[in-house]
Amino acid sequence: MNLRRAVFPVAGYGTRFLPASKAIPKELLPIVDKPAVQYVVEEAVAAGVETAIFVTAEGKSAIEDHFDRNLRLETFLAERGKRDLLDVVRQVGAMVQVVAVRQKEALGLGHAVLQAAPVLGDEPFAVLLGDDIIIGQPPAIGRLAELALETGAPVIAVMEVSPAEISHYGCIAGEEVSAGVWRVRDLVEKPDPAHAPSNLAIIGRYVLTPAVLQALAATPPDRGGEIQLTEGLRRTLATGPVYACTFPGKRFDAGNKADFLRATVEIALDHPELGAGFRRMLEDLFVKAEKT
C-alpha cells in the first residue's frame, strides 16, 4: 500500500524529560546528530509517505521549522563553502511536505488523530508516535502497510514483552492467523499483568482507515476526559476486522530516559563517522571503571 499521509502526534508536554523539554520540544532532543522525531519521519518517508501531518500545540512550532527550508542558514553555509552541511540541511528541508494542525487541549491520542481528519482525505493513513524509535530496514511502518493492503483493514504494530511490562502498554487479544500476524478480538489499555489477555504490547505504529476516524468521532471521553485511540479501535471491531503484526527493526522507547540513552549509544556505535571512535571511548571508560 502506498501510504501518502502520516500523522505524528507531537502535542505533549514531554514532562518525563523536564527540565530539558521546558523550552525545547522533547521531540527535538537529539539522538547523536539528529532530533528524535527525524528518525520517525525518515521511517515514514522510507515507506513512501509524502505528507507529514504534525498534530502540535503551543510552543511546538520548532518541529515544523526543522522540516522547513532555512534560507538564511543555507546562504550562510554556501558562502563559507560548507557543502556537506549545506546538503544535510537541504535534505531535511526537502524530506517531506509538512502540514501542522493544532490540538488545543490535551484530550488523548484518539483526539489528536481526529484533529488531522480534515486533511487526511478518504484513504488509509499512518500514525507514528515519536516515543517509539524503530531503527532498521525495511521500515517498520512499511510492514504494516503491506498487511493493510492484503487485508483492507486497520493494522496495529505489536511486540512481545515480559508479563511484568505489559501493564505499561495497551495489548491485544486475538488469534494468530500467520507467522507474526493476529486478527484482533479485543484491545486492553494497560492491563493488570494477572489478567492481561496476552503479552503482545501495542507499539506506536498504526495504519488506519477512514472507518477508524468514524469510530473515534463517536467515541466518548474516558473518565479522565480523554478520547483514546485504543477505544476507537475497539469500536471499529464492530464494523470489520483489525489486524496486528510484528515489525522489522529494533525499537527504543525514547520517552524513557534510560532507553533514550541506550538509543543514543547504540545508534552512535553504528554511525559511519563516529562509530569507531565512540567504541574506543567506551572501551577506555570500561577499562578505567574496572580499575577503580
- Domain identity same for 281 and 143: no
Q: Which amino acid is at 14?
A: G
**Cα 37 to Cα 133: distance, rounded to the nearest angstrom:** 8
Average pLDDT over residues 254-271: 95
Cα 111 to the center of its chain, rounded Å: 16
What is the number of structural domains in the chain? 2
Which triple of cell numbers denotes residue 18? 523536564
Residue 174 covered by a domain: no
Residue 218 covered by a domain: yes
pTM above 0.85, yes or no: yes
- 64: CATH: 3.90.550.10
**Cα 247 to Cα 135: distance, rounded to the nearest angstrom:** 11
Residue 9 near residue 56, CB atoms below 8 Å:
no
> Over the stretch 141-193, which tens digit does the pLDDT of each residue have?
999 999 999 999 999 999 999 988 999 999 999 999 999 999 999 999 888 89
- Domain identity same for 130 and 261: no
**Cα 231 to Cα 240: distance, rounded to the nearest angstrom:** 15
What is the residue range of 247's domain?
5-153+202-255
- Domain identity same for 103 and 239: yes
Parallel, antiparallel, or unpaired: how do β-strands 170-178 and 5-9 relate?
unpaired
- Domain identity same for 54 and 67: yes
**Cα 281 to Cα 245: distance, rounded to the nearest angstrom:** 38
- Domain identity same for 22 and 10: yes
- Domain identity same for 218 and 289: no
> Over the stretch 50-80, which tens digit does the pLDDT of each residue have?
999 999 999 999 999 999 999 999 999 999 9
In the chain, pLDDT over 90 holds for what percent of residues? 90
- Domain identity same for 125 and 138: yes
Residue 185 covered by a domain: no
> Over the stretch 194-210, which tens digit does the pLDDT of each residue have?
889 999 999 999 999 99
Residue 178 covered by a domain: no
Cβ neighbors of 227 (< 8 A, separation 6 or more) are 107, 108, 109, 110, 111, 114, 216, 219, 220, 221
Residue 27 covered by a domain: yes
- Domain identity same for 15 and 64: yes
**Cα 111 to Cα 119: distance, rounded to the nearest angstrom:** 15
What pLDDT does residue 292 have?
78
